[in-house]
Amino acid sequence: MIRQSEDIPYNSLRAKPFLAYLRDPYLWVIALGQIALNIGFMARRTLWLDEAYSALMARRSITEIHKALRFDAGPPLYYDLLHIWRMMAGESELALRSLSLLCSVFAVIVIYYCAARFWNRHAALLAAGLFAFTPLTTAYIHEVRNYTLLAALSAALVLVLMEHLDKPGRWTVILCGVIGLGVVYTHNLGWFLMPGVLLCVWLYAKKVKDLTGLLICGIGALVFYAPWIPTLLAQMRNSERSIAWAANFWSPWSLIYTFSAYIPGGMTPSYLDLPSFPNGLQAINALMWITIFALACIAAYRKRDRKAALILIILVSGLVGPYLYSLIRTPIYLVGRTDYGLLPFWCLFTGYGISKIPWRRAQMGFAIVFLLQAGYINYELLTRDDPLSERDIIVYLQRNTQPGDVVLFTGLTRPSLEYALDEQGLRFESYPRDMNKHLAHLNESWYMENIDLDKEAESVLTDISRNIPDGASIWVAASRRPVNGALLTLIKEERLTTLVKRISTPSMGLRKLNEPVFLVKLQKLR
């Protein structure tokens, strides 16, 4: 048994098998604690825009998913896994979100093993606990999105890389290639991990053949990635309509905000909508975490700890790469989102730093403060009510529509409603029609500049009226976005005034977007 106070050199742990690390009861306290914290709340809210988009993608075949992603901004691995997971677990909110929870638990185990294998048990428990209970992880466990998968694969990649640099072997080389391919097939930002990985290999490879083996494996991974390159190029051409919104949240201070998002109660952008502490407490927290980070840097330098240096290099390069790309070319850096895949490295490095505090009581005190703060923020996050929710509009349509009715979605209203209403026998249409290509991206200014919205509105309503059965109704799910103005004006002007029925409630809207939504019911148009 390794005593917590010992710093055992990593080479002395070689004889300890992998399963021996999994026997630590405190690891399972952390893993089961994370499950217990989240499982009871995972079905509490409807799927919001991005989640519902993932759910709709998972309903398609693998081939159809890959074709549809030409109008997206990401790779296919998560959607492919979600497609398979849906067939096994179903597609309730709990079933779909449980894949994110599973990935997060896997990441906790990888982080624990990585720290225990190369440092000590105490650092492992600290790093695993930091990742498991930080509010940012809690937020992404409750989303049907690829972020916890990216974090798990990123942590696994670095673990295998560290194993290879310690004792090179054929299987570690192969695993580096396979997991690295998984990272870049999960999120395009995974490519920004690779310069840091290559730098670490260059600095710490013991022999030239070790470096050569990894390079050959990397070339092999590129060969397997090559079939995706045409889709990636198509995504880049469509970026004006898909990721242009990211520019609204880009800031030269994004790097600093990232570390604020990593800690409980820190400052976060509106798309995360995480509770935060008052500014004074945030400043105290920032000072505490900066101190821990500095301790980790000092300890890594004094001990010439190449594993800690490797973690730091990949953390910094993985953040600086997309930051510089956003600064020089196109904003792609989203605080608390595109940087989430690097959270395991932050937790590993700061867990290492906490374990280097010379006073055990101070270490315990820091862990208690973290758990109290994280517990408070997690409680606020999981139990609060949303002022706007898709639930009201979903329930209304479930009760009042009949098979054959058409629901015309405007802007971003479609994903959540289509996911919930799929079994109602309804027909779904989008306005503008181009929104059929990607249901979760809306660049209003592009549509208003490049599409004649008056003609588009007339054409959409005319086509619907020609193909709708007698006695069926048209339901327009709308909001006051400028892009919807032409459609709503046409409904009122073309002798439809007497046929219009507007339905709305104070809580009817798009959750997280804080966008009020209302329904307009029409009979078959003449």
Distances (CA, A) of 345 to 3, 177, 312, 339, 375: 24, 19, 7, 11, 22
123: number of Cβ within 10 Å: 28
Task: Evaluate if residue 381 carries a pLDDT over 70.
Answer: yes
Give the E-state strand segments of 345-419 in sequence order.
406-410
What is the pLDDT, as a whole number, of residue 127?
Answer: 97
Between CA 221 and CA 509 the distance in angstroms is 44
Q: State the DSSP code for 429.
A: E
| CA nearest to 487, candidates 446, 436, 429 | 429
Question: By the 8 A CB rule, do 42 and 93 touch?
Answer: yes
What is the pLDDT, as a whole number, of residue 385?
Answer: 87
Q: How many CA atoms lie less than 13 Å away from 223 in the CB half-sphere?
A: 7
What is the pLDDT, as a whole number, of residue 375?
Answer: 97
99: number of Cβ within 10 Å: 25
- Relative orientation angle of helices 360-383 and 343-355, to the nearest 10 degrees: 150
> Which of the pair, 437 or 18, is modelled with greater confidence?
437
Give the E-state strand segments of 365-500 in sequence order.
406-410, 427-431, 473-478
Question: By the 8 A CB rule, do 440 and 374 touch?
Answer: no
Structural Rg of the chain based on CA atoms: 25
pLDDT digits (tens, 9 = 90+) for 406-451: 999 999 999 999 999 988 999 999 999 989 888 888 888 889 988 9
| CA nearest to 265, candidates 364, 168, 377, 343 | 377
Q: How many CA atoms lie less than 13 Å away from 305 in the CB half-sphere?
A: 25
pLDDT digits (tens, 9 = 90+) for 231-250: 999 988 888 777 888 888 99
Between CA 155 and CA 342 the distance in angstroms is 8
Looking at every residue in the chain, the average pLDDT score rounds to 90
Question: By the 8 A CB rule, do 146 and 51 touch?
Answer: no
What is the pLDDT, as a whole number, of residue 4?
Answer: 39
Question: By the 8 A CB rule, do 489 and 482 touch?
Answer: no
Between CA 68 and CA 489 the distance in angstroms is 32
Q: Which helix (H) or strand (E) holds 502?
A: strand 501-503
The angle at the Cα of 140, spanning 134 to 143, to the nearest 5 degrees, equals 155
Task: Evaluate if residue 492 carries a pLDDT over 50.
Answer: yes
Distances (CA, A) of 261 to 14, 269, 292, 413: 36, 9, 16, 28
What is the pLDDT, as a whole number, of residue 273?
Answer: 85
Please state the rounded mean pLDDT for residues 115-131: 94
Please state the rounded mean pLDDT for residues 391-403: 93
Q: Which class for 140: exposed (0-12), middle (13-18), buried (19 or more C-beta within 10 A)?
A: buried
Q: State the DSSP code for 371.
A: H
Task: Evaluate if residue 346 carries a pLDDT over 90.
Answer: yes
Strands 406-410, 427-431: pairing kind: parallel
What is the pLDDT, as a whole number, of residue 525?
Answer: 57
Task: Evaluate if residue 3 carries a pLDDT over 70.
Answer: no
421: number of Cβ within 10 Å: 18
Question: By the 8 A CB rule, do 369 and 437 touch?
Answer: no
